Amino acid sequence: MQDGAVYNETTEPQAKPTHCPFGCTLRRLSGWQLGAKAFQAILSFLAFICEEIVEGCIKCAGLYIFEFISCSALLLSLLTLCVYCTDIYERFGKNKVQIANLLTIAVTGVCFLLASIVFAVTSSGSSLENAACIFGFLASFAFLAESIIEYFPNRKQNIDGCSENPGNTQTTTEHQPLNTHC
């Protein structure tokens, strides 16, 4: 009895949940979503870089608008990717993150498309400006395509999630007495 065999623990110690370093994980993004987010960030970055190395402009307003939108799109796509890959996702909740993502990518896609059109119209036609416009159009289409793909499953889920008995009628089993004696 002195060896402590009688006093063994009766319960198993709880396993600690696996914690990713810095809370970073890619499990919340499916394969196509991760690819789309990375593609958007890369195209936005390329559009921004091509625009930044333009040496001179005749009508600079389109260039400045495109610069602001391409930089904003890059930062927003990276921010959205960070939200999906960190613990912030659990803090805000799946529904709020998906709604914010849908709104962000839709607005970014529309603004990027408009900025690309304005820049294409006001550019002098140099190869760098043309490359920036092409990357801008590709990035805007990537943002808009993801917003369309994300919108329809959410819409279908909302339609399917509606209750068939919205009036809370008394025909449901939860309103029936438990003990009925005949």
pLDDT in tens, 131-174: 999 999 999 999 999 889 888 765 555 555 554 445 555 555 56
CA distance 24 to 3: 45
59 close to 158: Cβ distance less than 8 angstroms: no
DSSP string, 48-98: HHHHHT----SSHHHHHHHHHHHHHHHHHHHHHHHHHHSTHHHHH-HHHHH
Higher-confidence residue: 177 or 55? 55
| Mean pLDDT along residues 82-107 | 86
Q: Where are the domains of the chain?
A: 29-54+61-152
Structure tokens at 156: 């279908």
Higher-confidence residue: 35 or 69? 69
CA distance 62 to 115: 7
CA distance 165 to 172: 9
Higher-confidence residue: 122 or 23? 122
Q: pLDDT exceeding 70 applies to what percent of the chain?
A: 69
Q: What average pLDDT does the structure give for the chain?
A: 79
CA distance 25 to 47: 28
- What is the model's pLDDT at position 80? 87
- What is the model's pLDDT at position 35? 81
Structure tokens at 41: 């960030």
Task: Give the residue carrying structure tokens 């040496």.
Answer: 55
Whether the pLDDT of residue 175 is over 80: the answer is: no
Whether the pLDDT of residue 84 is over 60: the answer is: yes
User: Model-level pTM?
Assistant: 0.68
**How does residue 88 score in pLDDT terms, banded at 50, 70 and 90?**
confident
133 close to 120: Cβ distance less than 8 angstroms: yes
Phi-psi region of 21 (alpha: psi -120 to 50; beta: other; left: phi over 0): beta
